[in-house]
Amino acid sequence: MTINLTDYRYIAGMATRTEAVYDELRRELLDLNGEFEPGQRLKLLDLAQRFDASLSVIREALTRLAGQGLLVATPQRGFSLRELSVTDLADLTRTRVQVESLALRQALRNGDVAWEAAVVAAHHRRADARIRNGRAQGRLSEQGRAYCERQGRTDSSLSL
């Protein structure tokens, strides 16, 4: 079978598959508790079988990940996971704190009453789940009751 590379359906289909493989691999690489070890060499054939994708799709996804610094591409040896030093982890943590702090400041500045209500509701759902799982008995529910009382709610309206 001959594939016409000017057929945009073929190109779009390949890009879609590459994106899916790239997204999944990126998620797995960023999961510090995942199956990959720092410095681990990635085997293209294994990945192709696992993702049911062609070698060109796998190579493209790995090349993009190497371009982002998540993988190391070594000529004639393939791709391996980047090893993180303590300095790298400290830099990542510092950057994450800065980005999340900026996001929080912007959310607080731009959030309206509906946004604030959604945040409080999410907090209560999380607190309620933690209490049901037995992780935070007592202190958290007292804090939740105090908060609700300050908001003018009665104990009978609490779902804790």
pLDDT in tens, the chain (160 residues): 444 445 554 455 555 888 889 999 999 888 867 788 888 999 999 999 999 999 999 999 999 999 998 899 999 899 999 887 889 888 989 999 999 999 989 988 998 999 888 888 888 888 776 666 555 544 445 656 666 666 665 544 444 3
Q: What is the per-residue pLDDT for 149? A: 66
Residue 73, beta-bridge partner list: 79
The answer for 134, left when phi > 0, alpha when psi is -120 to 50, beta otherwise, is: left
Alpha helices in 68-134 (DSSP H): 86-110, 113-132
Report whether 66 contacts 79 (CB < 8 A): yes
Q: What pLDDT does residue 37 have?
A: 86
What CATH number matches the domain at 8-81, 3.30.70.20, 1.10.10.10, 2.130.10.10, 3.30.2130.10? 1.10.10.10
- Three-class DSSP labels, 43-54: CHHHHHHHHCCC
What pTM value is reported for the model? 0.51
User: What's the confidence (pLDDT) of residue 67?
Assistant: 94
Instruction: Identify the pLDDT of residue 74.
Output: 93
Helix 139-150 crosses helix 113-132 at what angle (to 10 degrees)?
150
Provide CB contacts within 8 A for 82, sequence distance 6+: 38, 69, 70, 71, 72
Distance CA 86, CA 47 (A): 29
β-bridge mates for residue 54, sequence order:
none
Q: How many residues does the chain have?
A: 160
Delimit the domains of the chain by residue range.
8-81, 112-160
